[in-house]
C-alpha cells in the first residue's frame, strides 16, 4: 500500500494511460458516439479526422447584409414594417428582416439581406418610413447568424453530406463568418447547396372574371407547413406530400375558395416552360423554389370540394407534384430545412478542398514524420546521457504524454487537422525539454542519497518547469479565442498537452527516476 502511496504520480499516469486506451480503441467509448459509427474517422480508433486528414471541404464566408440598429419598431408592427421597407426599396420582402426590441428600453433592428441597396438608400428609405436608425453597419445580427447556422446545418444533414459541421466564427472586433466543414465533398458541391436560399412559395393563379386580368396571389410560404413527407414517385408522378400548419390552413382554404379553386380546375401551364410565376396565365396552383416554378397544377374535385365546404382545415394535407424526382427532392430539402435568412458572400471568404487520397497521404506521412522526430529526440537524449535507465523512461514518458493527449482528443471527438499535429509537436518538444531539466537536476549534483535530497531537487526542477509551462500557456491563450484558420486548434492542443505534462507525466517521470536511482 505504502509503495502505491509513495508512487501516486506513477499510479495517476498509468490510470490515465488506461483511460486513453479505452477512449481511443473501445468502440463507442467517447460520449455521443455509437459503436458502429465511423464517419470522418477510421475503424481502428475513435479519433475524428478533420478535412486535412480525411479529405473534404471547408468554407468560411461572411453573411451578405447590413443592419440598421436602434430602429423603433413595435412587436406587432414587424410584418407591416417589413413590407413597407421592401416596397420603398423595390426589393423582395424576404430580403428585409425586421426585429422589434426584445426588452423595454432597447430598440429594434432592421436588416437588409441584399447587395443591391447602398447604405444611403437604406437610410433614406428608413427615414421616409419614419424611423431614425442610430447606426447602419455591415453584417447581420447575431440572431440571424444563429438562424443561418441552424438552417445550413439542417440543409447539410438532409442532403447527402453527412458528418458536416457548421459554426459561427467571430473574429474579435471584426467581421463574423459562418464556417462550414463537410468531409468527403468538394467546396463547389457545398456552394451549390448553399447558393440557393431555398425560398418556397405557393401561388394561386386566377383570372378576374370581369376585367380578364390574371392575379398571382401568394397563398402559402415556407413557414406554413407542419409536416413534409418524403419525395416519392407515385404512378410515375414525382411528388412531395405536405401538411399545412393549423394556423395557416383556415386562411389557405379561404384564399383558395375565393380564388375560384372551390371547384375542380385543370391547369393549362407546364412548370418546366416557365422561369417565373409572372408568365403563367392559367388557373393553377403554382409552387416556386427560389422563384422558379417547380410545380403548376390544377385542383382535383375532392380537394376543391374540401376548400368549398371548409373541411380542408380539418385535414390540411395535400400533395405537391413536380416535373422530376430531383426537383421533388430539392423541394423537400427546401421545405424541410427552411430558407436561409440571407446569402453567404463566398467572394469574401475562404474555401479549401482536399482530395481524400491526398488526405490519406498526409495522415500516413505526418505519422512517419512524427515518429522520425521522436527517433531523433531519443537518439540525442541517449547520446547525451549514455544511461539507459535515464534515457529510456524519458522517451517513454514523452510518448505517454502524446498518448494521453490523443486519448483526450478522441474523448472530446475533436476533429484532428494538420495544425493540431503542429500542437502535438510543440507538446513533445516542451515535454522533452522539461524531462531533461528534471533529469539533469536530479542526476548531476552528486549522488542522490536519500529520498529527502531527491525531493528537494525535484522541487527545484519543478519551479523552472512550472514557470516555463506558465509562459507557454500565457502565450497560447489569446489564440484560443481567435478563429484564424486553425490556429485556435493548435493553441488548444498545446495548452492541454502542456497541462497534462506539467500535472501528470513530468512529475511521474520524477517518481520513475527516483525508483531507479534509489534502487542502486
76-115 positions binding another protein, by CB under 8 A: none
Of 72, 74, 124, 171, the residue at the interface with another protein (CB under 8 A) is: 171
Residue pair 404/505 in contact by the 8 Å Cβ criterion: yes
Closest approach of another protein to the CB of residue 414, in Å: 17
The yes or no reply on residue 350 touching another protein (CB under 8 A) is yes
Q: Which residues contact 296 (CB under 8 A, 6 or more apart)?
A: 267, 269, 270, 271, 274, 280, 282, 284, 285, 286, 287
Estimate the crossing angle of helix 418-443 against helix 356-385, to 10 degrees: 10
CA 393: distance to chain centroid?
42
The yes or no reply on residue 368 touching another protein (CB under 8 A) is yes
Q: Which is nearer to another protein, 50 or 260 (CB)?
A: 50
Of 79, 142, 451, 467, the residue at the interface with another protein (CB under 8 A) is: 467
Closest approach of another protein to the CB of residue 96, in Å: 25
Contact map string, positions 442 to 461, toward another protein, x by CB under 8 A: --x---------------x-
As to burial, measured by CB atoms within 10 angstroms (0-12 exposed, 13-18 middle, 19+ buried), residue 261 is buried
Q: Can you say whether residue 105 is alpha, beta or left, with left for phi > 0 and alpha for psi between -120 and 50 degrees?
A: left
Closest approach of another protein to the CB of residue 166, in Å: 18
Of 282, 351, 413, 515, the residue at the interface with another protein (CB under 8 A) is: 351
Of 352, 389, 396, 399, the residue at the interface with another protein (CB under 8 A) is: 352
What Å distances lie between residue 94 and 83, 90, 290, 372, CA to CA?
9, 12, 11, 57
Of 120, 302, 347, 519, the residue at the interface with another protein (CB under 8 A) is: 347
The yes or no reply on residue 196 touching another protein (CB under 8 A) is no
Of 161, 416, 421, 442, the residue at the interface with another protein (CB under 8 A) is: 421
Write out the three cell numbers for 495. Answer: 495548452
Number of residues interacting with another protein: please give it, by CB under 8 A: 79
Identify residues 494-513 at the interface with another protein (CB under 8 A). Answer: 494
Q: Which is nearer to another protein, 225 or 346 (CB)?
A: 346
Q: Which is nearer to another protein, 30 or 55 (CB)?
A: 55
79-103 in b/e burial notation, b at 16+ Cβ within 10 A? eebbebbbebbebeebbbbbbbbee
Closest approach of another protein to the CB of residue 440, in Å: 4
Of 146, 263, 365, 455, the residue at the interface with another protein (CB under 8 A) is: 365
Of 376, 388, 455, 518, the residue at the interface with another protein (CB under 8 A) is: 376
List the one residue out of 158, 157, 95, 152 whose CA is nearest residue 330.
158
First to last CA, the chain: 22
The yes or no reply on residue 167 touching another protein (CB under 8 A) is no
Ranges of beta strands (E only) in 222-347 are: 225-228, 232-234, 237-244, 284-289, 292-297, 317-321
The yes or no reply on residue 243 touching another protein (CB under 8 A) is no
Of 33, 109, 330, 353, the residue at the interface with another protein (CB under 8 A) is: 353
Q: Element (H or E) spanning 470, and its range?
A: helix 451-480
Q: Which is nearer to another protein, 17 or 443 (CB)?
A: 443
Residue pair 267/296 in contact by the 8 Å Cβ criterion: yes
Contact map string, positions 305 to 344, toward another protein, x by CB under 8 A: ----------------------------------------
Amino acid at each position: 500500500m505504502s509503495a502505491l502511496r509513495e508512487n501516486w504520480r506513477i499510479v495517476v499516469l498509468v490510470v490515465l494511460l488506461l483511460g486513453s486506451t479505452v477512449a481511443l480503441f473501445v468502440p463507442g467509448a467517447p460520449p455521443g458516439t455509437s459503436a458502429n459509427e465511423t464517419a470522418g474517422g477510421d475503424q481502428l480508433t475513435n479519433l475524428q479526422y478533420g478535412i486535412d486528414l480525411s479529405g473534404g471541404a471547408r468554407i468560411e464566408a461572411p453573411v451578405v447584409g447590413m443592419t440598421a440598429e436602434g430602429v423603433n419598431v413595435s412587436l406587432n408592427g414587424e410584418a407591416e414594417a417589413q413590407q413597407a421597407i421592401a416596397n420603398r426599396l423595390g426589393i423582395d420582402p424576404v430580403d428585409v428582416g425586421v426585429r422589434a426590441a426584445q426588452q423595454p428600453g432597447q430598440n429594434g433592428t432592421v436588416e437588409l439581406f441584399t447587395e443591391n441597396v447602398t447604405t444611403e438608400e437604406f437610410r433614406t428609405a428608413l427615414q421616409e418610413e419614419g424611423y431614425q436608425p442610430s447606426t447602419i453597419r455591415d453584417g447581420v445580427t447575431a440572431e440571424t447568424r444563429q438562424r443561418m447556422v441552424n438552417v445550413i446545418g439542417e440543409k447539410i444533414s438532409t442532403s447527402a453530406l453527412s458528418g458536416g459541421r457548421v459554426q459561427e466564427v467571430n473574429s474579435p472586433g471584426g467581421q463574423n463568418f459562418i464556417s462550414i466543414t463537410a468531409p468527403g465533398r468538394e467546396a463547389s458541391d457545398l456552394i451549390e447547396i448553399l447558393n440557393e436560399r431555398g425560398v418556397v412559395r405557393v401561388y394561386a393563379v386566377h383570372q378576374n372574371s370581369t376585367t380578364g386580368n390574371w392575379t398571382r396571389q401568394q397563398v402559402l410560404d415556407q413557414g406554413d407547413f407542419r409536416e413534409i413527407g418524403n419525395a416519392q414517385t407515385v404512378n410515375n408522378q414525382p411528388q412531395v406530400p405536405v401538411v399545412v400548419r393549423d394556423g395557416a390552413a383556415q386562411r389557405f382554404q379561404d384564399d383558395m375558395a375565393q380564388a375560384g379553386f372551390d371547384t375542380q380546375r385543370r391547369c393549362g401551364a407546364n412548370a418546366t416552360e416557365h422561369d417565373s410565376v409572372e408568365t403563367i396565365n392559367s388557373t393553377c396552383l403554382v409552387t416556386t423554389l427560389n422563384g422558379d416554378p417547380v410545380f403548376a397544377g390544377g385542383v382535383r374535385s375532392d380537394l376543391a370540394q374540401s376548400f368549398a365546404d371548409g373541411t380542408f382545415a380539418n385535414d390540411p394535407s395535400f400533395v405537391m407534384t413536380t416535373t422530376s424526382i430531383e426537383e421533388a427532392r430539392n423541394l423537400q430539402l427546401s421545405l424541410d430545412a427552411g430558407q436561409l435568412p440571407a446569402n453567404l458572400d463566398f467572394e469574401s471568404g475562404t474555401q479549401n478542398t482536399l482530395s481524400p487520397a491526398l488526405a490519406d497521404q498526409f495522415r500516413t506521412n505526418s505519422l512517419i514524420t512524427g515518429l522520425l522526430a521522436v527517433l531523433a529526440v531519443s537518439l540525442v537524449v541517449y547520446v547525451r546521457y549514455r544511461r539507459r535507465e535515464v534515457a529510456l523512461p524519458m522517451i517513454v514518458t514523452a510518448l505517454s504524454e502524446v498518448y494521453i493527449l490523443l486519448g483526450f482528443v478522441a474523448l472530446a471527438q475533436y476533429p484532428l487537422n494538420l495544425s493540431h499535429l503542429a500542437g502535438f509537436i510543440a507538446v513533445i518538444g516542451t515535454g522533452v525539454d522539461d524531462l531533461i531539466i528534471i533529469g539533469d537536476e536530479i542526476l548531476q549534483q552528486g549522488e542522490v542519497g536519500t529520498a529527502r535530497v531527491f525531493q528537494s531537487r525535484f522541487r527545484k526542477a519543478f519551479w523552472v518547469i512550472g514557470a516555463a509551462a506558465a509562459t507557454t500557456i500565457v502565450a497560447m491563450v489569446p489564440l484560443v479565442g481567435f478563429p484564424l484558420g486553425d490556429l485556435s486548434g493548435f493553441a488548444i492542443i498545446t495548452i492541454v498537452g502542456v497541462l497534462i505534462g506539467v500535472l501528470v507525466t513530468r512529475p511521474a517521470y520524477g517518481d520513475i527516476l527516483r525508483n531507479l536511482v534509489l534502487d542502486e
